[in-house]
Chain A
Amino acid sequence: VGISTAETRPATTAAARGVTVWQIATAVAGLLAGAGVAWILSRHGSNSFGVPKLPFAVPVVVLVGWSFIAGGLLYWRSRPENHLWAVLIFQGFAWFGSMLNNSPNPVLFTIGQLVYPWQYASGLYLILSFPSGRLRGGLARAMVAIAIFLVTVGNLFWLLFADSHHSMCRTCPANLLEVTRDDAVVVGVFYVFRISGIVIALTSIGLLALRWRRASRAQRHAVMPVAVAGVVAFCALTVSYGARLAGASSPNALDAFAFYAAAAVPVAVLAVLIQRRLARGAVAGLVVELGEPGPGADPRAALSRALGDPSLALGYWFAAESRYVDRNGRPVELPEAGGGRRSTVVERDGQPVAVLIHDAALEHNAGLVESVSAAAGLALQNERLQAELRARLVELQASRARLVEATDAERRRIERDLHDGTQQRLVSIAMSLGLAEAKLPADPEHAKPIVAETRTALAVALAELRDLTQGIYPTILSERGLSAALDELCSRSALTAHLRLFLDGRLPIPVETAAYYVVSEALTNAAKHSRAAEVRVAASCSNGILTVEVADDGVGGAGNGRGSGLRGLADRVEALDGRLTVSSPPGRGTTLRAEFPCG
Chain B
Amino acid sequence: VRVVVADDAALLREGLARLLLEAGFEVAGLAADADALLDLVEQARPDVAIVDIRMPPTHNDEGLRAAKLIRERWPDVGILVLSQHVHAGYAIELLSAGTEGVGYLLKERVSDLAELASSVQRVGAGGSVLDPTVVTQLVGRRREADDPVKRLTEREREVLALMAEGRSNKAIAERLFVSEYTVEKHVGNIFTTLRLPVSPDDHRRVLAVVAFLNAQ
Contacts and interface: CB of A to CB of B under 8 A. Distances in A.
Same complex for A and B? Answer: yes
Interface of A: 416, 419-420, 423-428, 430-435, 437-439
B113 A438 contact: yes
A435 B111 CA distance: 8
Nearest to B18: A435
Nearest to B8: A420
B71 interface: no
Residue of A416, A430, A437 with most chain B CB atoms under a 10 A cut-off? A430
B122 to A, nearest CB: 18
A245 B111 CA distance: 114
A434 B113 CA distance: 6
Interface of B: 9, 11-12, 15-16, 18-19, 22-23, 54, 59, 84, 107-108, 110-114, 116
Given A423-B84, A424-B12, A427-B84, A433 B111 contact: yes
Given A419-B54, A419-B84, A434-B19, A427 B113 contact: no
A464 to B, nearest CB: 12
Contacts of A427: 12, 15, 84, 107-108, 110-111
A431 B54 contact: no
A459 B83 CA distance: 24
Interface of B is mostly: helix
A425 B108 contact: no
Given A424-B9, A427-B12, A437-B113, 19 more contacts: A419-B84, A423-B84, A423-B107, A424-B11, A424-B84, A426-B108, A427-B84, A427-B107, A430-B108, A430-B110, A430-B111, A431-B15, A431-B110, A434-B19, A434-B112, A434-B113, A435-B18, A438-B113, A438-B114
A438 B21 CA distance: 12
A252 B207 CA distance: 109
A427 to B, nearest CB: 5
Contact of B11 (A425, A433, A439): A425
24 contacts: A423-B107, A424-B9, A424-B12, A424-B84, A426-B108, A427-B15, A428-B11, A430-B111, A431-B15, A431-B18, A431-B19, A431-B110, A432-B15, A434-B19, A434-B110, A434-B111, A434-B112, A434-B113, A435-B18, A435-B19, A435-B22, A438-B22, A438-B23, A438-B114
A427 B108 CA distance: 5
Nearest to B114: A438
Nearest to A424: B9
Contacts of B110: 427, 430-431, 434
A432 B112 CA distance: 10
